[in-house]
Amino acid sequence: MRDYINNQHRYYSLDYYLKKRFKTKVFKVALNGNFTCPNRDGTISNKGCIFCSPAGSGDFAGNRHDSLAKQFNEVKTIIHHKWPNASYIVYFQANTNTYAPLEKLKKIYEEAISLDQNIVAISIATRPDCLSKEIVEYLGELNQRLPVWVELGLQTIDEQVATFINRGYQLDVFTEAVTNLHQQGIEVIVHIINGLPNETKEMMLNTIRFLNSQKIQGIKIHSLFILKQTILGNIFEQNPFKLLTLTEYVDIVCEQLTLLREDIVIHRLNGDAPQELLIEPRWSLKKLVVMNEIDKEMKRRNYFQGCKVSID
């Protein structure tokens, strides 16, 4: 399985996976479908997850007031200068991108996948409690025409921490959504956060152990971001709590990778926070440094993704 070890990383990176699957350079183009979230509009809560930015974690997506075509072409124009033969994944990132009537979703998704002949997949970030049977069945039908990826924000499996961050759903809702999506042949990518308040290293490793039991195909890992204009930002500024150092974060990620099934694609190991909103950790802004430190430590420890799965 570890045919990726000849690559620069000791884990199954997204870049390696995309080149292997699509045989060309592939870019994600983040689009804003002007969705909201049931954890913001009062359906579940009006607070949202306490770490979530005002843009619904879609700070780098397009302008929600612009058409999908304008958003896509603005990014494509930039990419095309350097990679004229590139392919694209349209990525609905901001807020909850299945939180709408099915007919509206069909209109938005069908428009998105028709924007360019070089679009090879569609990726949809959402909540597991916003995936009705009808929506999942439609996504399954769409998946017959081009690959559909669904990204689910899990963050942690610890129910007390999940309640504190106001995630708004129980773990069994997540597992049911993963099962339903898998039955439709849809790839599932899970988001987790390292360094949530009151989480120990062992708790973060337990989230990985749990995910090994789930029929998921990808994972995104990043450190907790303390952002201005968020509930967590206000809590932190009034009563600062300990955050992971870069060294601690690198150590935890390396251990998580060793415990993770080797077939799960690593979509991200360090996130992007808007610099103007980021309070801490400032080290996260040096994305290449973080990635290089993880690569160096994996090599120093002679670790590979999944190398401890069978003995854990």
Average pLDDT over residues 44-58: 74
Mind giving me the DSSP string for 104-146?
HHHHHHHHHHTS-TTEEEEEEEE-GGG--HHHHHHHHHHHTTS
Please name every residue paired with 29 in a beta bridge, in sequence order, or none if there are none.
Answer: 90
Percent of the chain with pLDDT over 90: 79
The CATH number given to 3-300 is 3.20.20.70
Average pLDDT of the chain is 92
Give the span between the Cα atoms of 102 and 134, in whole angstroms.
7
Give the span between the Cα atoms of 218 and 173, in whole angstroms.
19
Average pLDDT over residues 249-267: 97
Token code pair at residue 127: 């909540």
Give the span between the Cα atoms of 72 and 186, in whole angstroms.
24
Distances (CA, A) of 110 to 76, 119, 121: 19, 12, 12
Q: With 50 as the cut, is the pLDDT of residue 58 above it?
A: no
Q: With 60 as the cut, is the pLDDT of residue 150 above it?
A: yes
pLDDT for the residue numbered 275: 86
Q: Which three-class secondary structure state does DSSP give residue 309?
A: coil
Give the span between the Cα atoms of 156 and 220, in whole angstroms.
12
Q: pLDDT band for 61, please (50, 70, 90 cuts).
A: low
Average pLDDT over residues 228-242: 91
Segment (H or E) for 30:
strand 26-31
Q: State the burial class of residue 111 (Cβ atoms within 10 Å of its Cβ: 0-12, 13-18, 19+).
A: middle
For residue 85, give every residue at least 6 positions away whose Cβ sits within 8 Å of its Cβ, in sequence order, or none.
24, 25
Which amino acid, one-letter code, is at 62? G
Token code pair at residue 18: 């995309």
Q: With 80 as the cut, is the pLDDT of residue 33 above it?
A: yes
pLDDT, tens digit (0-9, with 9 covering 90-100), for 169-216: 999 999 999 999 999 999 999 999 999 999 999 999 999 999 999 999
Structural domain boundaries of the chain? 3-300
Q: pLDDT band for 6, please (50, 70, 90 cuts).
A: low
Percent of the chain with pLDDT over 70: 94
